[in-house]
Structure 1
Amino acid sequence: MTRILILYYSRHGTTAEMAHHIARGVEAQAGAEALLRTVPEISPVCEKTAPSIPDQGAVYATLDDLKLCDGLALGSPTHFGNMAAPLKYFIDGTTELWFSGALSGKPAGVFTSTGSMHGGQESTLLSMMLPLMHHGMVILGLPYSERHLRETTSGGTPYGPSRLSLNNDAISEEEKTLCRAFGLRLAKTAEALKAGRR
């Protein structure tokens, strides 16, 4: 099996919904498996101790989840043009994987959601790519051959799927389609790269 880790943080559920659509795209590829994982909240006062299994939603990610994946989709809401602190905190703790080169050569991409049209979607996606590049990952986006990228009036960028969630609007058909296309592209690329390493 080709295992794609979909690692995300979602406070209000919009990024989580995107993650599930990306997972559907991953699993549209024969022999591919999507693994959904999240990260716990952090406290501004002191480090919070979270239960090992959250009350709801995806299981918390471990470094082994990253180490054992064949590809990665990294998702976060946009917070002031950047990824949310809980996800950044987790990524900052991946130094041992960087030293060992565990993620080098594996495909990765990013996705985000925001509550305003000009909330910094693209800067968030671009900044989320930086630690993945430091890990030596192969960065994927969405090509304009995905016609919904040219037709969307809400979320969607060539840097990765995005979602515009104004007043908790439902995810648009274009946003769903782009999430699924991204998941499928990631799974196909991971499978090809994995076959090349054999």
Structure 2
Amino acid sequence: MKIVIINYGAGNIQSIKFAFKRLGYDAILTNNVEEIKNADKVIFPGVGEASSAMKMLRESGLDTLIPNLKQPVLGICLGMQLMCNYSEEGNTKGLGIFDCDVVRFTNEVKVPQIGWNAITDLKTGLFKDIVKTEYIYMVHSYYAPSCEETIAIADYGIPYSAALAKDNFYGVQFHPEKSSTVGEQILKNFLQL
């Protein structure tokens, strides 16, 4: 199986590569359009700021490639947020895969949210064999509200989308590569989609 991690200058790529290595796969880090198109599975990571990340995607032409991919695609953290219509962070137009807008947590909670949080209301094969009260690792200041494409919920002062799905596209707000055995199971499940 050919697993590609999109390299566009945003992301904690090494920990994702190590996570797949533990599962027995060598993920390829690339921004080559043909390699991405020919992958069996695509990982769209992201750590950083939305507007500068979108600028890098536009400059490399990946902003038009990603929404047209036909194989399973997993957006992680900022990667998931960039798959939405819009983000308040940097007033950023997203890729428009998920029909929701990303907003900032209010000052009523400590921002960013850093640490372990429970996920509930799990849907789709991405969460196969996962118990509803599992905890995953989060680091973020912005979130996607619950919407029609929500497949998991987390709560941080308000309930929000911990994961989204539409067609062959999946997005998780959390870091499966840093979420212990639960995250490993989610990555395994993604490889089986």
| TM-score normalized with structure 1 length | 0.47
More helix as a share of residues: 1
| TM-score normalized with structure 2 length | 0.48
More strand as a share of residues: 2
